[in-house]
Structure formats: C-alpha cells, structure tokens
Amino acid sequence: MMTRMLQTFLWKLLLRFALSLAAMAALVWLGYFLSGLLLRYNPSRSFPITRLLVAAINGIGSLPIMLAAGTALFLGLFFWMSRRFLQRFDAITDGLQQIAGGDLAHRIEDDSADELGAVSRSVNEMARRLAIAQQEERSAAQAKNDLITGVSHDLRTPLTSILGFLEYIQKDRYRDELELRQYVDIAYDKALVLRKLIDDLFEYTRVAGGSMPLQAEPVDLNPFLRQLADEYEPLLEEAGMACRVHPSGQPLLVQADPELLLRVFENLLTNAIRYGASGGAVDIYVRPAAGSASPDEEEADAAADQAAMPNETAAPMAEVVFRNYGEPIPPSHLPRLFDRFYRVDASRSRQTGGSGLGLAIVKSIVDLHGGVIEAASSKRRTEFIVRLPL
C-alpha cells in the first residue's frame, strides 16, 4: 500500500510538472505572438512598451528573455498547482511528528477521497488505537498496583494476628494451658484464612491471566446442580437452610470444564448460605435463558421479572439462578460485586473468611466459558444469574 501511495504521489507531481511546462510554453508563445503583433502594428515605436521591448531585445536578446520568462512562469505555475498538494503532505508530516511526540489526541483534518486523504485517515486511526492501547496499559498498571495493594493489605491482616499470638506464646505471656490453647486455635484459624486467600489469589491470577486451559466437555446442568445441592446438605442444615433445585423440563447441555464450573456454583451456593441464612432457603433455577417463567408461584412478580430480562446474545443460553432471601445488597454495591477484593461488608466478610476474590474468580471463569453473570437484589430476594451458551 505504501509503495502504491508513493507511486501515486510521484505521478501526481509529474502531472503537475507537465501541466506547468505546457502552461509555460503556451504563455511564452502567447507573449512572443503578442510582441510580434505589437512590433508589426507600431513600427514607429510610439508606445513606451514598444520602445522598452525593442531595447530589451537589442540589449539582451529575444532568446534569453524567453528563457528567463519561461523559467519564472514555470516555477510560479508549478508552485501554484502543487501548493495545496504539498500543504496536505506537510500536514500529514506535522501530524506524524506530533503523534510521535506523544500528542495522541491530534487529528489530521483531511476528508478528501484521494490517497492523501486515505493516509490522513489511517494516521488518525493509528493515533486512536495508540491512545486506546496507552489507556489500557495505564489501566493494567493501575490494576496491577491495586492488586498488589489489596494483596498486601489482606495478607498483612491475618499475618499480623498470627505473629502477635505466636509472640505471646514464645514469650510465655499466657496464664495457663487453656489460654495457650486459645492462642494456638486463633493463630491456626488465621493461618487457614491466610492459606485460603493465597489459594484464591493463585486461582484468580491463573483464570484471569488465561493460563488455565479449559478441559471442556458436555455437562448437563440439571443433574450437575442436584448433586451439588446434595453435597452441601450438611452445611445447609448447619445454617438452618433448605436448598430447592428447580430443574428444567429438558436436558440443558453446555460445553464446559466441569471442575471450573463446579467452582462457580460452589462459590455462589456458599455465598447464598453465608449471607442468606436469615431467609432460611436457597432456590436454584435451571432453565433456558429466554422465554421461561419462574416456577416459584408464591411470588407473583417473578414471571414479569424474567420476561423483562434482556437476552444478551443471539445464541441460545442456559440460565442458572441462585436465589436467597437474606438481607438485600445495596444498589450502589451491585456494579462492583465482581471486582477483586471488593466486599459489601468488609468486617462480616473477614469474620466468615471471605477473601474478596470469590466473585472475581466466578466472573473470570464464566467469561472464560463465553457466558455472562449478573446480580440483582431487592427487599424480597437476592439473585445471582449465570448464563452459559448451550
């Protein structure tokens, strides 16, 4: 493309050169013809211009005069014909220099349809993409700094407690064996929190960084979620909750990594148990994403909610909804639920061992499968909706 553009540029310059030469020849011939008429019809040299012309011819010669006039005419005509063309070329050069100097907001104003216009648009597009890449690089650097800050803060908290209680033990600052056992238990619990945070962080970096390969295979979501609910029955009983699975009327097959998909649903069920225990129940709905109503007949507005939910992709999707009836999530927190290290209630999350990475891991895994996840909360219920391509 660049070679063709240069060739076109040279041809246009040659064309202007030829036009300037032709126009110069025509004007010199016209001047020669008019001078001959002037000398023929004014032989007495009564006109001042005739006397001046004759003096110039006698003193310099007609050929040098014609050459000088032709050269001046040619240069003037060539400059005049090429001025706009060269100005546009200079604008492109100046634009490239400003962009190279870091001014990525600079744009070349040239909407013409020729090759230079195409070059101007290409340069503008290059500057736009460079600006986007620069912004993404800055965002990545900021995200990296935020990650380091979050990791440092979250690692420091349990580690400080562990070191503090170990210091008590090392310096024999406990009263009796019972207090020693209490210090050991606290240090052990904090060490478990620390290990969970490190494990979650390791898993998040693998999933979000794309280094975790998908071992995809067909998975039927109906028996998959029934088995998950059965495995969590002891934890549900301990929390005083019931788990009700509402399968679809037909098999819902998705192409997914079973281990990663289990991580998603385990995290969502654990969150429902952790923060929705006051509601006494967890409902899991498995259904096609479009056109199905909620099977919970006790809630009259459930069908309307599902009908109003947008279908985000053209491809058919399976939808899994985890619904609990505990305390609602404030609307201001919903957009940031899937950010890493974000907690709606930081103190409660730390008491229950939350790392602030669970939902970020869930979103990364769902994204890895080409799906979407969203959350909705009201005074009556809180829902986490996962949609996966069928």
Report the distance separating Cα 211 and Cα 17, nearest Å. Answer: 60
**Rounded-to-integer distance, Cα 12 and Cα 86, Å:** 11
Query: Angle at which helices 177-208 and 358-368 pack, to 10 degrees?
Result: 30
Measured CA to CA, the distance from residue 258 to residue 92 in angstroms comes to: 55
Q: Give CA–CA dist 327/330, Å, rounded.
A: 9
pTM of the model: 0.55
Q: Assign 3-class secondary structure to 337-388.
A: CCCCCCCCCHHHHHHCCCCCCHHHHHHHHHHHCCCEEEEEECCCCEEEEEEE
Instruction: Provide the 3-class DSSP secondary structure of residue 310.
Output: coil
Closest CA to 66 of 20, 35, 37: 35
Provide block-wise average pLDDT over 10 residues at a time, the chain (390 residues).
64 80 84 72 65 67 76 82 73 83 81 73 86 84 73 79 88 86 89 82 73 82 93 90 90 90 91 88 89 40 44 72 90 81 54 64 89 90 92
Tokens of 249: 């009327």
User: Strand 317-324 and strand 281-288: pairing?
Assistant: antiparallel
Amino acid at 146: D
Q: What is the per-residue pLDDT for 358? A: 80
pLDDT 10s digits, 164-194: 889 888 888 888 888 888 989 988 988 988 8
Q: What is the pLDDT of residue 306?
A: 46
Buried b (16+ CB within 10 A) or exposed e, 134-170: eeeeeeeeeeeeebeebbeebeeebeebbeebeebee
Tokens found for residue 281:
């129940």
Per-residue pLDDT tens for 47-80? 676 667 666 666 676 677 778 877 888 888 877 8
